[in-house]
Structure 1
Amino acid sequence: MHELDYMERVAYAYARALQSTDSTVWVNRRVPTDARIKWEQCNDMGCAPALFGVKDTSQISRAMVDRLAKDPRFVWMSVDRMAPHGRAIDPELVNPLTGRRMTGSTSGGPVNILRGIHDLAIGTDGGGSILGPAIATQLVGINGKGLGLVGGQPSRSTEGYPLTVGIGAISHTFALARDAIEVLLGRSLAKGSDGLRIALDEAAPRGALSALNQHFAKVEPFSKEGSFQRETGIKMLEALFEHNDVVVSYEGPVDVDAYCDSLAMGQHLDERGGKFLLRSANILNATAVAIPDEHPARGFVVMAPEGYQHACGAFTVAERLATQFSRTALFEDYFMHRTRVEHSGFFHLEV
């Protein structure tokens, strides 16, 4: 990318951020200057700096944000909206992909990625609040809880489970989300072993089994039936972790056929909400990665027990799935590759 092209992209993203008062809480007025400085630093590295937003929550410390903002590869664009009271849907924000209420509670960040405002959203996950929004918008999501990336205050799930939120990233590519996690962690993630034992959801697309069988020693099927209920999901994931290094669940469509939200549905949550083991991963301190496929609001959730080596295994499996499965050309053209210039008002002049 040439410098003028990059700065044009930044200018349109900055203008869009200022307009998007429903999904952004604050916009960094230094973005044009910061982007130019970072371009000069990053150009020697052969890359264009990525724009990022941060969820509007005190669980993410300023020190952690500064760690990312000081890296030459990243420019801080915005503070992004959080669903009210951290709930599982955002009743005031629409998912640009599905037209349904946006999945929460990391709601504004993924919306801003699809709007072209930034490339990366830093968020928190208590009971699926990174993984759910990522899958709902067909983006990559990583919860770094198992690596020690955690919030500052204790919390509680809607069922009363005590927890500490995990901190992670959502992006349009696995590589960018992983880069952000490594910066936040202050450490690179190594490649996991080919001898990993993997539990694979029997509902996963056929290509997943062949893709994993080619690279890993043992892939065994399991059924996630009933795991939309968090108590069931926690017990299931605990049992799977006893005999497997990595668990891969296929989930969705998230918040399309029904909302998986306790306030909206009361005690009548069911599998139509599309959230299964993703609701339990953080409570078990897992490292978890959401990888989209071609189907809207569907994707894989790759989970591993707490610890660095386990996380490396999860990232290796997730990267393999990311190379095997991709979003549709229509999605890419509409949300990723479309022109950043969007005309509004009564008329525009073409020359």
Structure 2
Amino acid sequence: MANRIKRYAKKTFLALDNRYNSVKKVYPNSIDYISEENGFYLGVKEVRVIPESFITELNQLGYIYHTVDKASLSGRAIDLELINPLTGNYMTGSSSGTALNVFLGINDVGIGTDGGGSVLAPAICLNLYGFIHPRLGKKHQVNEELKVSTDGIPFSPSIGLISKELDHITKIMTKFFEISSLPNISIGIDNKALQEAAKLTENEYRSTLIGMDDKYTKDRRGLIVDLEHYLSTFDLVISKEGPVDLNGVGDSIYGHFSDFTKKKQNIANKGFIRVANMVGAITLTVPSSDLSVGYVLMTKKESVIPHFLIIGKLLSSGTDELVNRYFGDLSKYFELGI
């Protein structure tokens, strides 16, 4: 058996083993569609809102439906049934299993849903790429799902993507959206990202530093006002966020009890990822070299998306070899059998 097919067989073995309890269902026959040249594995969050016809289109693009992924109960922002392998803390939700199955190498791409950070936050906490777009997969939906957040804000969830590789997100974006590039874009960037701003300037992007110091302590309504202002002022906004759910518990149910629990919620360092979907922003998260820290790129202009991909590569820290050594070699899971 060829090497690539062997590797994908081990992905299915790991899904069946379900070491981290992140898999609800496995389709072992997915291996039939994997060759030495083509085919990637796709995981799908266990929610009704993701249309089967959208999954079918991804299958036709070469992303083969491999697993149904566990989601946190009631869309909660943390998942008390799953553990983050990097931090040992409860896994960030609600697309918790979807992000985990990408991180573990079970799937190449995961499809989740994001209301108030449910794709973006799990991606950042595992140093993965995350992407949401208010129109992604929506042409397949008969009825738009409307929800209300725990803090009383109505929203419609976006469908989003999680991957270790920006190239997968690029391939899917270019399949579903005809994008023409907007030249000479203006960028508003977090003043905590001085080195990153310098890197953008070196590559001839016009960037302006913005003070975003209160993004972790403001409530969602205040963040929505701020982000709407930034997005009307700049073509692209970049916020450096995290470490997500490392030092605190970024969950509004936990945080509403007292000043102490609210403080613990705030130091979970979830900023504009809590409202990006609520304002209808097209958003890409790019992992940094710091644990559970990422760059959040937001725009309302599809013509800015090509710059997402360029800037994503500029900001990317590349593969973490130590993490890859511990979690990337699937053979290690089966040395003593299952």
Q: TM-score, normalised by structure 1?
A: 0.86
TM-aligned CA distance change 1:87 to 1:254, over 3 Å: same
Provide the C-alpha distance between the structure 2 equivalents of 1:240 and 1:321, rounded to a whole number of angstroms. 20
Instruction: Say whether the 8 Å CA contact 1:213–1:219 is kept in structure 2.
Output: yes
Q: Give the aligned partner of residue 23 of structure 2.
A: 24
Unaligned runs of 5+ in 1: none
Q: Which of residues 287, 295, 298 is equivalent to 1:292? A: 287
Alignment partner, residue 342 of structure 1: 333
Does structure 1 conserve the Cα–Cα contact (< 8 Å) formed by 2:179 and 2:305?
A: no
Letter in 1 for 2:85: P
Aligned to 1:35: 34
Give runs of aligned pairs for residues 150-169 of structure 1, distance below 5 A: 152-169=144-161
- Conserved in 2, the CA contact under 8 Å of 1:119 and 1:172? yes
Name the residue aligned to 1:332: 324
Is 1:51 matched with 2:41? yes
Map of 2:270 onto structure 1: 275
Partner of 2:173: 181
What is the identity, as a one-letter code, of the residue corresponding to 1:180? I
3-state SS of 2:322 partner = helix
Q: Note the alpha carbon deviations across 1:238-258, whole angstroms, 9 max, x for none.
A: 111121001000000000100
What is the DSSP-based 3-state SS (H/G/I as helix, E as strand, rest coil) of the residue aligned with 1:273? coil
Residues 16, 197 of structure 1: alpha-carbon distance in 2 compared, 3 angstrom cutoff: same
What residue in structure 2 maps to residue 87 of structure 1? 76
Answer whether contact 1:137 1:297 (CA < 8 A) is retained.
Answer: yes
Aligned residue type for 1:10: Y
Cα deviation 1:188-232 (Å, max 9, x = unaligned): 444442x1010000012x331122113345211112222232112
What pairs up with 1:101-112 in 2 under 5 angstroms? 101-112=90-101
Q: Distance in 1 between matches of 2:223 and 2:309?
A: 21
Contact kept, 8 Å, 2:284 with 2:308, in 1: the verdict is no
- For residue 236 of structure 2, the aligned residue among 230, 239, 246 is 246
Q: Which amino acid aligns with 2:86?
A: L
Query: Equivalent pairs: percent with the same residue?
Result: 28
- Please give the alpha-carbon distance, in whole angstroms, between the structure 1 residues aligned to 2:215 and 2:115: 16
Whole-Å Cα distance in 2 between the matches of residues 335 and 154 of structure 1? 37
Amino acid of the structure 2 residue aligned with 1:319: I
Report what 1:316 is aligned to: 307
1:95/1:315 CA distance change after superposition, 3 Å: farther
Which aligned pairs between 1:143-222 and structure 2 lie closer than 5 A? 143-145=132-134, 149=138, 152-183=144-175, 185=176, 187-193=177-183, 195-204=184-193, 206-222=194-210
Q: What TM-score does the superposition give when structure 2 sets the normalisation length?
A: 0.90
Alpha-carbon distance in 1 for matches of 2:104, 2:276: 28
State the distance in 2 between where 1:135 and 1:287 align. Answer: 16
TM-fit CA distance, 1:181: 3.3
When structure 1 is superposed on structure 2, of 255-264 and 327-336 the one drifting more is: 327-336
Confirm or deny: 8 A CA contact 1:23 1:80 kept in the other structure: yes
CA distance in 1 between partners of 2:212 and 2:309 (Å): 19
Amino acid at match of 1:212: L
Give the letter for the 1:181 counterpart: M
Question: Which residue type is aligned with residue 334 of structure 2?
Answer: H
1:135 touches 1:292 (CA, 8 Å); kept in 2?
yes
The residue aligned with 2:214 is 226
**Equivalent pair of 1:303/1:314 in contact (CA under 8 Å):** no
Deviation, 1:146, is 5.8
CA distance change for structure 1 residues 33 and 189 in 2, over 3 Å: closer, same or farther? same
Cα distance in structure 2, aligned partners of 1:5 and 1:344: 18
Contact residue 291 and residue 318 of structure 1 kept, 8 A: no
Cα offset, 1:341, TM superposition: 4.5
**TM-superposed deviation, 1:83:** 0.6
- The DSSP-based 3-state class of the residue aligned with 1:105 is coil
Whether the 8 Å contact between 1:146 and 1:286 is mirrored in structure 2 is no
- More deviation, 338-347/241-250: 338-347
Q: Is the 8 A contact 2:241 2:295 kept in 1?
A: yes
One-letter amino acid matched to 1:316: H
Conserved 8 A contact 1:94-1:101: yes
Corresponding residue SS for 1:275: coil
2-side partners of 1:50 and 1:235: how far apart? 40
* Residues 318 and 171 of structure 1, relative CA distance in 2, 3 Å threshold: same
Aligned residues: 326
Give, as a single letter, the amino acid of the residue that structure 2 aligns with 1:276: G
Cα distance, 1:84 vs. partner?
0.6
Give the whole-Å Cα distance in 1 for the aligned partners of 2:70 and 2:330.
25
**Which residue of 1 is the match for residue 255 of structure 2?**
265
Deviation, 1:119, is 1.0
Structure 2 stretches lacking a partner, 5+ long: none
What is the CA-CA distance between 1:320 and the residue it aligns to? 1.9
Q: Secondary structure at the match of 2:267?
A: helix
Report Cα offsets for 1:168-198 as digits up to 9, x if no partner. Answer: 1000011112223334x2x3444442x1010
Return the letter of the residue paired with 1:293: S
- After TM superposition, give the deviation of residue 317 of structure 1 in Å: 3.5
With over 3 angstroms needed to count, the CA separation of the structure-2 counterparts of 1:263 and 1:140, relative to structure 1, is: same
